[in-house]
């Protein structure tokens, strides 16, 4: 399937649809579809109608069926397809059962939710919110539920439906190589010849920023044609060779997942000491299922008193160098290892802003300490951007420093997986 | 200005444009524009051309000027506007100066970056990346830089340019009321009469989910016409009355900001003890500038040993009830207050999944403890969704429980602001 798809979310607050869109894009891409764009509209029939007029073989509309967005979607779809809305008894039954199972009262106007455009294919299951699909001339429009069920419904119903109707023809394969600690300008320069002259027309290489600023840069490779698999493998080897150690992972691998795997492979456990990031580092590390195998504890030492109480940072260091200093970062990294008994310690102290900057230590000044089995390195960074951005970049660089440091440690022979 | 605008990001990885889009939407909405939709496309000229064909008076394109996205934007714009790309010396000069100031090497193909469509209005400043605007029949297309400069450039150049060209006519005002701890079905039922029959046609009320599941629900009020200000004030009073204490804030106010303000007003300081969320609560609380006035420290107690070492949770509780239990949540909340000396303590312990669930405590079981001046409440929750979602909902409910608890405390007479 080399089908181009478009994802449209309806009536979702800005930023709240990211999880849904990411999960859906993952399923569609896995199935060989190209997600050409995503569009977010308010509960607005005109805006949705414009989105549905975009050129794409498949349009996936994601809307909360219980909210007013559902009404907008149903009405707009019926108009676009030139059909009527009809009350579907099977849909009503499925909805009633869903509400019953989840121990929630059926909304007053439940019949409204069971209105579907005539001719729609219904996907009903007691385990997920209902979904349906409508074929219009030249395209397919699927309406899927938001939230936890989205990926499952896409995988179980939409993908097989599309696969059954698409001629097994051109293959499109994509690979994303993820880098940390290098600027986009640097990656572009190193790959300039390759991005300018794609591989025989069968592969394209794109460099893209994966965050404001330069703190993560991705290289996307798309290969087409009957030999797509070989082309992709060859181009990936070539690009990975150029990127070297700067490439930390591929496709869905995050920096925190790669760091976790390196710790597991080396049989090492980690604890963290965070000042200016105050939890973001621990949060990222424990977003990985199974992280309790290597993440043991952490302390958020926002105040100087907390740095002394919980890490034993000497008052002399705080007095002579301040809390935002290399000696403090080192004492924090050593302190968390000593107090927790874990061999690896990661410490962050800095000024996230907007206040607290000085001429010698402006906002964005961050010191990171990495301790591995008693050996401590510290690094000073000067990050641009606002408070959130400085916090994110701090954790990004902390994870990347630890990653590069762990690559120099030998894997353990008996590391548990 | 009642102008409809569309935001298009080009060549940005999924999720990485949220910050840019939110910042830009804020500036445009403040200036009275209605952001009708946002669109994200890859580095793909066809996809961008489709996005530019959408109906909107103003289209704002956000792309990294240093990346290949810039090429796609420039070429597509020139084609859409029917003009040529020309090398602009002032643009080249500005770019050279920008790179020099930021101590970065000028890219090899810098001239490429200084190509702009003929007839474009240039916005050059030594303080920000260059931007430009192109007038095509019936619409205005602005190309603004990504990242830290985006909001500033929009505010300084785009908004005044639009204001100067728009007749002062219809006014559109919006207000968002944010709720926590109530389901979308509940809010919809309570507001059903009002959403069904908008206020004389001059105001619309929409209920929208601000996250997968029901953990935050927003009510958006849009008022139009010459009396928009009075209409908005009247409808807002009415809706706020219906929502009562469930409404925690409006527009850009987050739950963590409101909790911070309540702590400040009451002269109270807070520390946190996190098990399954392991940093997310501390991270959210310290995302607020000035949070050091009330947030003092936290501990991430992932292991049982850490719960004993850092909080003094009795081994007997862990043995009899387990770490995921009301007695453990209570001991954690009491422990963090006792060890830190802060009057307010917030504790979270639970099973984020995917592993670790049992028949009596399935994945998503979370206990929250709230301690205020020695008085401790605990609550049990059963959250749906994956690991990230359970973590988010846990912090959401912890913050909301603390908010409702603090509303019962009298504000301090001499609380510092």
When pLDDT is averaged across residues A281-294 and rounded to a whole number, the result is: 94
Q: What is the chain A residue with the closest CA to B395?
A: A283
Whether residue A187 is predicted with pLDDT greater than 50 in this model: the reply is yes
Looking from the CA of A200 toward its CB, the CA atoms found within 13 Å total 11
Place of tokens 């994200």: B40
Which has the minimum average pLDDT: A229-233, B46-50, B275-279? B46-50
Most confident range, picked from A103-112, A190-199, A354-363, B141-150: A354-363
Q: Is residue B292 a contact partner of residue A300, using CB atoms and an 8 Å limit? A: no
How close, in Å, is residue B196 to chain A by CA atoms? 10
Task: Of B358, B374, B371, give the one whose Cα is nearest residue B401.
Answer: B371
C-beta neighbour count of A342 within 10 angstroms: 20
Residues of A in contact with B109 (CB under 8 A): 192
The pLDDT tens digits for B63-83 are: 865 567 888 898 888 888 877
Is B36 in contact with A41 (Cβ distance < 8 A)? yes
Whether residue B166 is predicted with pLDDT greater than 60 in this model: the reply is no
Whole-number Cα distances in Å, A27 to A129, A151, A158, A353, B407: 18, 7, 10, 39, 44
Whether residue A232 is predicted with pLDDT greater than 70 in this model: the reply is yes
The pLDDT tens digits for A74-86 are: 888 888 887 788 8
Q: What is the chain B residue with the closest CA to A310?
A: B310
Nearest-by-Cβ selection for B12 from A209, A306, A355: A209
Residues of B in contact with A189 (CB under 8 A): 107-108
Burial of B358 (0-12, 13-18, 19+ CB in 10 A): exposed
Reduced 3-state DSSP string for chain A: CCCEEEEEEECCCCCCCHHHHHHHHHHHHHCCCEEEEEEEECCCHHHHHHHHCCCCCEEEEEECCCCHHHHHHHHHHHHHHCCCEEECHHHHHHHHHHHHHCCCCCCCCHHHHCEEECCCEEEEECCEEEEEEEEECCEEEEEECCHHHHHHHHHHHHHHHHHHHCCCCCCEEEEEEEEECCCHHHHHHHCHHHHHCCCCCCEEEEEEECCCCCCEEEEEEEEECCCHHHHHHHHHHHHHHHHHHHEEEECCCCHHHHHHHHHHHHCCCEEEEECCCCCHHHHHHCCCCCHHHCEEEEEEECCHHHHHHHHCCCHHHHHHHCCCCHHHHHHHHHHHHHHHCCCEEEEEEECCCCCCCCCCCCCCEEEEEEEECCEEEEEEEECCCCHHHHHHHHHHHHHHHHHHHHHCCCCCCCCCC
The DSSP bridge partners found for residue B142 are: B60, B133
Place of tokens 């790959």: A191
pLDDT band at A169 (very low <50, low <70, confident <90, very high): low
Place of tokens 């510290």: A378
pLDDT band at A200 (very low <50, low <70, confident <90, very high): low
How close, in Å, is residue A67 to chain B by CA atoms? 7
Q: Is residue A235 a contact partner of residue A220, using CB atoms and an 8 Å limit? A: no
Looking from the CA of A354 toward its CB, the CA atoms found within 13 Å total 3
Q: Is residue A68 a contact partner of residue A40, using CB atoms and an 8 Å limit? A: no
**Residues of chain A above pLDDT 70, percent:** 88
Local structure of B163: helix, strand or coil = helix
The pLDDT tens digits for B330-364 are: 999 999 999 999 999 999 999 998 888 999 999 99
pLDDT band at B52 (very low <50, low <70, confident <90, very high): confident
- What is the C-alpha separation between A361 and A324, in angstroms, rounded? 8
Computed over every residue of chain A, the mean pLDDT equals 85
Q: What is the chain A residue with the closest CA to B310?
A: A310
- Which of B34, B110, B113, B282 best tests the A interface by mutation, with the highest count of A CBs <10 A? B282
Q: What is the chain B residue with the closest CA to A285?
A: B278
- What is the C-alpha separation between B328 and B317, in angstroms, rounded? 6
Kindly give the pairing relationship between strand A375-382 and strand B34-41.
unpaired
Nearest-by-Cβ selection for B282 from A188, A278, A310: A278
Q: What is the chain B residue with the closest CA to A290?
A: B355
The pLDDT score that the predictor gives to residue B368 is 98
ipTM for the complex shown:
0.70
Whether residue B14 is predicted with pLDDT greater than 50 in this model: the reply is yes
Q: What would the two tokens of residue B333 be?
A: 């909340």
Whether residue B212 is predicted with pLDDT greater than 50 in this model: the reply is no
Residues of B in contact with A339 (CB under 8 A): 309
**Residues of chain B above pLDDT 90, percent:** 41
The DSSP bridge partners found for residue A6 are: A37, A59
- What is the C-alpha separation between B324 and B79, in angstroms, rounded? 61
Nearest-by-Cβ selection for B25 from A14, A211, A295: A14
Whole-number Cα distances in Å, A330 to A278, A318, A368, B60: 17, 12, 8, 46
Is A148 in contact with B386 (Cβ distance < 8 A)? yes
When pLDDT is averaged across residues B113-141 and rounded to a whole number, the result is: 82
- What is the C-alpha separation between B94 and B116, in angstroms, rounded? 13
The pLDDT tens digits for B262-291 are: 999 999 999 999 999 999 999 999 989 999
């Amino acid at each position: 399937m080399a089908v181009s798809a478009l994802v449209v979310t309806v009536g979702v607050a800005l930023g709240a649809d990211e999880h849904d869109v990411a999960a859906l894009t993952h399923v569609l891409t896995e199935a060989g579809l190209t997600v050409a764009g995503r569009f977010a509209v308010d509960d607005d029939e005109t805006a949705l109608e414009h989105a549905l007029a975009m050129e794409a073989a498949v349009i996936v509309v994601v809307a909360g069926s219980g909210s007013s967005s559902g009404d907008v979607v149903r009405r707009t779809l019926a108009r676009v397809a030139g059909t009527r809305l009809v009350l579907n008894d099977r849909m009503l039954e499925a909805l009633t059962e869903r509400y019953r199972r989840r121990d929630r009262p059926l909304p007053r106007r439940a019949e409204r939710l069971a209105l579907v455009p005539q001719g729609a294919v219904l996907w009903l299951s007691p385990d997920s919110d209902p979904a349906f699909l409508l074929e219009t001339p030249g395209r397919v429009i699927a309406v899927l539920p938001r939230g936890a069920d989205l990926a499952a419904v896409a995988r179980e119903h939409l993908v097989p439906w599309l696969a059954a109707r698409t001629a097994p023809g051109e293959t499109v394969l994509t690979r994303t190589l993820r880098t940390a600690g290098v600027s986009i300008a640097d990656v572009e320069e190193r790959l300039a010849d390759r991005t300018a002259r794609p591989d025989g027309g069968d592969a394209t290489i794109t460099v893209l920023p994966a965050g404001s600023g330069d703190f993560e840069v991705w290289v996307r490779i798309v290969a087409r044609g009957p030999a797509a698999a070989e082309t992709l493998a060859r181009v990936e080897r070539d690009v990975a060779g150029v990127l070297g150690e700067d490439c930390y992972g591929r496709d869905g691998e995050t920096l925190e997942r790669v760091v976790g795997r390196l710790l597991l492979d080396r049989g090492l456990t980690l604890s963290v000491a965070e000042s200016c990031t105050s939890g973001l580092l621990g949060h990222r590390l424990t977003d990985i299922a199974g992280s309790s195998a290597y993440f043991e504890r952490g302390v958020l030492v926002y105040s100087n008193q907390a740095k002394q109480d919980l890490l034993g940072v000497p008052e002399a260091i705080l007095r002579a160098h301040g809390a935002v200093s290399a000696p403090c970062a080192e004492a924090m990294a050593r302190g968390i290892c000593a107090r927790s008994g874990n061999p690896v310690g990661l410490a962050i102290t800095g000024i996230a802003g907007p206040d607290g900057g000085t001429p010698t230590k402006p906002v964005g000044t961050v010191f990171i300490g990495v301790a591995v089995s008693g050996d401590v390195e510290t690094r000073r960074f000067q990050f641009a951007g606002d408070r959130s951005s400085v916090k994110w970049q701090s954790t990004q660089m902390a994870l990347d420093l630890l990653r590069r440091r762990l690559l120099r440690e030998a894997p353990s022979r008996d590391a548990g997986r």
